[in-house]
Amino acid sequence: MFRWLNEGPRRKEETRTFVTVASGLQELYREKLLPVETEHLFHQFYSPALTDADFTARPMVLLTGQYSTGKSTFIRHLLGRDYPGLRIGPEPTTDKFVAVVHGKSDQVIPGNALVVDKSLPFTQLSHLGNAFLSRFECARCDSPVLEGITLIDSPGVLAGEKQRLNRGYEFEGVIRWFADRVDMILVLFDVSKLDISDEFRRVLLALKGNDQKIHIILNKADRITTPQLMRVYGALMWSLGKVIDTPEVSRVYIGSFWDEPLCNDEQRKLFESEENDLYTCLAQLPRSAALRKLNDLIKRARLAKVHAFLLSHLRAKMPSFMGKGKEQQKLIANITAVYQEIAKERNLPLGDFPDPRMMQEKLEKMDFTKFAKLNKAKMDSLEGMLGNDLVGLLALIPDEAAATTETRLSQIGPEASPFAVMKMDGNSEMSYGASGWLQPPNLEDYRSEFMALSPNAAGKISGGQAKGKLIESKLPSTVLHKVWTLADADKDGALTLEEYALAMHFIKMRLDGQDLPATLPPQMQPVAAQKMEAAASAPQMQLAAA
């Protein structure tokens, strides 16, 4: 699917850089940030301590949205196959959070077993208890895409009367936990389901603070005409403007992210462009993962620094003898004034301070007299980490990373088909009944069509000549690219009659609902290709015999 995933030497070089940065972040966190967090009860106010897996895990992508908007289908589209336990339907089918990770064989790991696996970044979810863990699982499967990213499938957000049903756990809290840790958040909308229900509104609000990670997908866009699509897009932006309160316009990717024929292909070029943009963002995630983790650690360190000053200040304000309870309530009620006083005294930006209402709720249950005093040595060490260590660690990330990624993503090659886009060569499982299609087609069935395309003297038609005919199937370009890759046996960018017959045969196979084979079966190889292969192997056989 992503060509760069299969480029071994380059990927190994990037991985070494990523591991180096990750190990540096681990060491700095354990030695300089964790002691401050532990001493000043940071984990009781915010999130648990980070584990080694939080630094070394593959970048994660969270998919959320209302039910039946195509979240699970989108994952299947990316992987080119079903993941273990996948079930797709128009009704709410995904009732669990599913972490789709790379594995050599298909396996489903239940939630309780998953959170004790320290090699995965989900151990902190154990504090949510069995109510959530019974609705959480990991699906391992072998896919080249999962070598670079991990996908998080989520239950569909409910609407109407269904919202009143108790899930048994805090759904918005789980979404917030994942949102803080993933590298990208995909929010899917259906063109026929733009309403934002109460639960969906709470989910979108739970994503607040991670606005730069959010990418919105307007899915199933081929189901409507161009004028309808314009009106739907405007309605979506209007609805989002009332929930996502940011001055910037949200990025919306328009298309139909599945392998089915396009109902209306008049906006095919738009869909292809949007598809490429989204796949490019996904392809660059492993490159930017180290920077994202570095950025998150800096945010956490700044928050821990402010938190230490805040708790130390509250402790110092408590009277020595009488009136402690009254003074504590007064400080909690005037927490914003306390923020301003600390910011002025310590020369700290107010933007680094936590939400006042959240802090007031947490402080109600605390005894200010038990807060720790500032440890100057630990605070100086934290300042050194922010001022020097993390800056030095940033230099380990190659400056040429972005340019290398862009070059490789656009490196399609001279043998590319006219349908080549970012997503290609996914490993798809064979559908039941597909074996009946894996037989050579009858050339006479396609000879008249082929001759009508005016082949050249060599008996071939170019990619441009074939493209118009193949597009008539209305299949997405990602599927047509795979069809071309299978049919163009000699990889010369042109089709003979045999190859054209193969292409049309595979199109009919896909329209029949069958998955295409990963490679061209030997029995379907064109005669010319077989002769070339035999000629190439003959000298080697003679050499071996000698």
Answer whether residue 536 is part of any domain.
no
User: Is pLDDT of 180 > 80?
Assistant: yes
DSSP state of 536: H
Residue 537 has pLDDT above 80, yes or no: no
Q: The domain that contains 112 carries what CATH number?
A: 3.40.50.300
Burial class (CB in 10 A: 0-12, 13-18, 19+), 364: exposed
Residue-wise pLDDT tens digits, 432-455: 445 678 888 999 999 999 999 999
How many whole angstroms from its chain centre is CA 74? 11
Per-residue pLDDT at 67? 85
Question: Residues 121, 124, 129, CA angle at the centre, nearest 5°?
Answer: 130
Give residue 296's pLDDT. Answer: 86
Same domain membership, residue 275 and residue 264: yes
Q: Tokens at residue 433, please?
A: 């009944």
Residue 377 confidence (pLDDT) above 60: yes
The count of other CB atoms within 10 Å of the CB of residue 486 is: 22
Convert the pLDDT of each residue in 291-343 to its tens digit: 888 888 999 999 999 999 999 999 998 888 777 888 899 999 999 999 999 99
pLDDT of residue 420: 53
Confidence of residue 18 (pLDDT cuts 50, 70, 90): very low
Domain count, the chain: 3
Same domain, yes or no, for 253 and 123? yes
Domain C-terminal end among 367, 398, 429: 398
Q: Sheet harboring 214-219: ordered strands across?
A: 107-110, 136-141, 97-102, 150-153, 60-65, 184-190, 214-219, 252-254
Determine, yes or no, domain membership for 114: yes
Q: Which amino acid is at 138?
A: C
Kindly tell me if the per-residue pLDDT of 484 is higher than 90.
yes
User: Do residues 40 and 68 share a domain?
Assistant: no
**100 with 139: CB under 8 angstroms?**
yes
Name the residue type at position 122: F
Q: 540 in a domain, yes or no?
A: no
Please tell me the predicted confidence (pLDDT) of residue 305. Answer: 94
- Asked if residue 177 and residue 269 are part of one domain, the reply reads yes
How far apart are the C-alpha atoms of 516 and 524, rounded to whole Å? 13
* pLDDT score, position 353: 92
Q: Give the torsion through C-alpha atoms of 441, 444, 445, 451, to 10 deg.
A: 120
Residue 157 is classified by DSSP as B
Q: Are residues 163 and 283 in the same domain?
A: yes
Q: Note the pLDDT tens digit of each residue in 271-289.
A: 988 988 888 888 888 878 8
Q: How confident is the model at residue 91 (pLDDT cuts 50, 70, 90)?
A: low
pLDDT at position 399 over 60: no
What pLDDT was estimated at residue 403?
39
Q: What is the CATH number of the domain that holds 306?
A: 1.10.268.20
pLDDT score at 425? 36
Residue 251: pLDDT band (50, 70, 90) is confident
Answer yes or no: is 151 within a domain: yes
Q: Report if residue 538 sits inside a domain.
A: no
Q: Is residue 5 part of a domain?
A: no
Q: Is the dihedral of CA 483, 485, 489, 494 positive or negative?
A: positive
- Tell me the CA distances in angstroms from 454 to 59, 285, 451, 477, 528, one per residue in order: 49, 45, 5, 24, 20
What is the model's pLDDT at position 413? Answer: 40
pLDDT at 414: 41
- Residues 157, 278, single domain; the answer is yes
In a domain, 436, yes or no: no
Do residue 456 and residue 371 come from a single domain?
no
Domain boundary among 363, 398, 433: 398
Residue carrying structure tokens 């920077």: 291
Task: Flag whether pLDDT at 538 surpasses 50.
Answer: no
Helix (H, G, I), strand (E, B) or coil at 420: coil
Task: Tell me: do 343 and 383 sit in the same domain.
Answer: yes
Residues 279 and 313 in one domain: no
Kindly state the average pLDDT of the residues 22-36.
89
In whole numbers, what is the pLDDT of the chain averaged over residues? 82
Asked if the structure places residue 113 within a domain, the reply is yes
187 C-beta neighbours (distance < 10 Å), count: 24
Does residue 490 share a domain with residue 366? no
> Which helix (H) or strand (E) covers residue 503, if one does?
helix 497-511
pLDDT digits (tens, 9 = 90+) for 404-440: 343 333 333 444 455 555 443 333 334 444 567 888 8
- Domain end point (choices 291, 325, 357): 291
Domain extent, residue 338, equals 36-52+295-398
Mean pLDDT of 340-347: 92
Q: Pairing state of beta strands 461-462 and 494-495?
A: antiparallel
Same domain, 321 and 458: no
d(CA 323, CA 327): 6
pLDDT at 20: 65
| Per-residue confidence (pLDDT) for residue 86, from 0 to 100 | 85
User: Is residue 362 domain-shared with residue 276, that is, in the same domain?
Assistant: no
What percentage of the chain reaches a pLDDT higher than 70? 83
Largest Cα span, the chain: 103
Domain CATH for 494: 1.10.238.10
- 207-246: pLDDT as tens digits: 887 888 899 999 999 999 999 999 999 999 888 888 877 6
Predicted pLDDT of residue 7: 45
pTM to 2 decimals? 0.71
**Contact, 177 vs 87, CB < 8 A?**
no
Name the β-bridge partners of 107. 140
Tokens representing 542? 């003679």
| Local confidence band at 512 (pLDDT 50, 70, 90 cut-offs) | confident
Q: Which residues of 445-484 are buried (b: 16+ CB within 10 A; e: fewer)?
A: ebeeebeeeebeeeebbebebbbebbbebbbbbbbbbbbb
Indicate if the pLDDT at residue 402 is higher than 50: no
